[in-house]
Amino acid sequence: MYKILLIILMGLGLLISCNQHQLKSGISKDGFDTTVRPQDDFYRYVNGSWLKNTEIPADRSSWGSFYELREEAQKNLRTIIEESANKKDKVEGSDEQKVGDFYLSFMDSARIEELGITPLKDELDHIKSVKSKKDLQNLMSHFLVIGVPKPFYYFIGIDQKKSDQYISQLYQGGLGLPDRDYYLKDTKKFKDIRAKYLTYMQDLFTLAGIENGAAKAKNIMNLETKLAKAQWTRVENRNRDKTYNKYTLADLSKETAGFNWDEFLKTAGVKKVNEIVVYQPSFFKEFGKLYKRTPVSAWKDYFTYKLLSSSASLLSSPFVKVNFDFYSKTLRGVEQNRPRWKRAVSNVEGSLGEVVGKVYVKNYFKPEAKKRMVTLVNNLQKAFAKRIEKLEWMSPETKKEALTKLSKFNAKIGYPDKWKDYSKLAVKKDDLVGNNTRSNIVEFEREIDKLGKPIDKTEWGMTPQTVNAYYSPTRNEIVFPAAILQPPFFNLEADDAVNYGAIGYVIGHEMTHGFDDQGRKSDGDGNMREWWTKDDAQNFEKRAQVMVDEYDQFSPIDSLHVNGKLTLGENIADFGGMVISYDAYHMSLNGKEAPVIDGFTGDQRFFLGLAQVTRGKMRDEAMRQRLMTDPHSPGQYRCNGILANLPAFYKAFDVKEGDGMYRAEDVRVDIW
């Protein structure tokens, strides 16, 4: 009898426990503005009160769902890092010693103030010693190794047409302003920015005790303007067909007026280069001409400025202030610099990201989150496959290739299986600039060591504490770091609807990048090749143009518009992410009707999940910069712009012709 009673009580306990842990809606109504109809402006219906009542923090240019999680991650990292910093008797060369002393080197403001420009003395003397173009090329090789900016970027990446090999690659660069258009546009706004940029350069020279700063600044502006004119636009740089140009080093040297690329790389310690991919051949041809005809003295001014500017945030307070005033206040509207501890945490993370990431995962990432994410990814992959199979506009031949590619997707969730080795990095608690320089050298050597070796499939392009996700076309993989797998993106205590609308949308977004206007050019092995029939490719482009036309109409500030061509890949991914995740959500119901929670149906909660994660505010200056440089559309369009194309949304919220969210059927996007 006792055993029977015990079983009954245990059963009641289980029932009570289940009721206590009944899944929540995952929807926060605190940000809602119910004076706005969801049928007219869904984004403001969900976020209107939040937008009215939320102030962007003084040390931020933007604020919203992504940024709140990043702030939380940074606080968690501070706890981890300061624990290492405060520990006594740390073993020299241990992870704790490196993390702790790197942090202390940034936090020791008294020593940094005392040193002033001294940490850069050896590098400034090196620049002064340059007498010839040969010396100048050697200086550029040295700066490549230690991470000082140059007129171009050199890096190691996977060959887009031979995805089982690493290859050297070159990309245009050299500008101090965010984009070529900042040099070329003649409106008052950009003229004012250029004037302040000249002042910034002059101030750096003055603080460094270097004479004739005003004249040097003008020479640098002249040189950077020429580089800007030679650069490709951001829209042009999205075209993977045009940016894949393979050269031998000898042929490239001929194209660039005799700049000796073989010698340049060997001096930097890169000795296994036979071929190199050049993204913008015409830019490098013009760089060669500029390099040849520009006097050595002008290049010395240019590289002195690049050294000063790239190091300014690590120097004494006058350097920090002028750097903040221009790059944060002028360009992005930020009111005050971040507290020193935040800047110190970012500095440590930039150099020892996976060391602190390992502890972050241990302390803040729940294993059950990874398990549930695996289920979500599998469900979205199945849903995507069904959508491809049902596409009326795609031929069987292309469908077969698309399904093969989808089946080969690799998903990485939470954190790497193998952590990076930082044993070669020496860290001193009284040498901030030296720590950063040595870190740059270690990372450069880590990269060039890849040449000639098999692809490291365990490598991650983000740390676990990064609030973001990505798709790699050459690896054909989707990656979701631990820090994004928390509310409002991913809520273990919430009903499936909001999770599919939030993190499901993110998963679907990254999957769709494999099939956006550029990602579709790679196959399942990561090789760029034409696997579409001609008719299917033309049909895709016609459908994508509908999206370009839609987004070109959006204007978040002044007379500035979203660039539909620049943002096309991200917009297609947003659209695909929603339709795939919606299908996956309904598959997860197994034919059952979703419960109504907090007054919302399952479908309604699904779309509310999207609106919550796209929530955000941005200062006007930051918005202007984003519209010119960022391939992502502003948050309100990542919500409303997508939902206005989805019949399921119309049904869920009874959207009719005449409503603000209504979009005529003949101009609705219909791709995936």
Domain range list for the chain? 131-314, 379-408+493-672
Q: Which two tokens stand for residue 44?
A: 């403001």
Helix, strand, or coil here: 271? coil
According to the model, what pLDDT value does residue 4 have? 34
Number of continuous H segments (helices) and E segments (strands) in the chain: 28, 9
Element (H, E) at 16: helix 2-20
Question: For the chain (length 672 residues), average pLDDT per consecutive 10?
Answer: 32 32 84 98 98 97 96 98 96 97 98 98 98 98 98 98 98 98 96 98 98 98 98 98 98 96 98 95 98 97 98 98 98 98 98 98 94 95 98 97 98 97 97 98 98 97 97 98 96 94 98 98 98 98 98 94 98 98 97 96 98 97 96 98 98 98 97 94
Token pair recorded at residue 192: 């004012």
Nearest CA to 103 out of 421, 442, 349 is that of 349
User: Residue holding tokens 């929603």?
Assistant: 578
The CATH number of 131-314 is 1.10.1380.10
Q: Which residue has the tokens 């060039």?
A: 448
DSSP designation for 62: E
Asked if residue 614 lies in contact with residue 636, where contact means CB atoms within 8 angstroms, the answer is yes
CA distance 340 to 551: 39
Question: In terms of C-beta density within 10 A (0-12 exposed, 13-18 middle, 19 or more buried), how is residue 15 classed?
Answer: exposed
Q: Long-range contacts for 360-366 (Cβ within 8 Å, ≥24 apart)?
A: 360/73, 360/76, 360/77, 360/80, 360/464, 360/465, 360/482, 360/483, 361/414, 361/415, 361/464, 361/482, 363/76, 363/80, 364/76, 364/482, 364/483, 365/414, 365/415, 365/464, 365/482, 365/485, 366/492
Q: Name the residue type at position 388.
A: I
Phi, psi for residue 26 in degrees, rounded to 5: 80, 5
SS (H, E, C) 79-126: HHHHHHHHCCCCCCCCHHHHHHHHHHHHHCHHHHHHHCCHHHHHHHHH
Give the pLDDT score at 59. Answer: 97
**Rounded to whole angstroms, what are the CA distances from 646 to 505, 584, 591, 649, 670?**
14, 15, 21, 5, 9
CATH of 379-408+493-672, one of 3.40.50.11750, 3.40.390.10, 3.10.110.10, 3.40.50.300: 3.40.390.10
Assign 3-state DSSP to the chain and report helix, strand, coil percentages, each to 5.
60, 10, 35
**Backbone torsions φ then ψ of 577, nearest 5 degrees:** -60, -40
Beta-strand runs (E) in 475-581: 477-481
Task: Determine the 3-state secondary structure of 259 from DSSP.
Answer: coil
Cβ contacts of residue 119 below 8 Å, gap of 6+? 311, 314, 315, 431, 432, 433, 434
**Local structure of residue 672 (DSSP, 8 states):** -
Token pair of 48, please? 């209107």
Q: What separation in angstroms does the CA of 259 have from each of 183, 222, 461?
A: 26, 21, 32
| Per-residue pLDDT, 558 | 84
Residue 107 to residue 98: CA distance in whole angstroms: 14
Token pair recorded at residue 501: 């609308």
CB of 37 within 8 A of CB of 658? no
Residue 88: Cβ within 10 Å count: 4
Looking at residue 22, its pLDDT comes to 61
Cα–Cα distance between 351 and 341 in angstroms, integer? Answer: 16
Buried b (16+ CB within 10 A) or exposed e, 311-350: bbbbbbebbbebbbbbbbbbbbbbeebbeebbbbbebbbe
The Cα-based distances of 76 to 81, 206, 360, 484 in angstroms read 9, 39, 7, 14
Q: How far apart are CA 69 and CA 509, in angstroms?
A: 19
DSSP 3-state of 330: helix
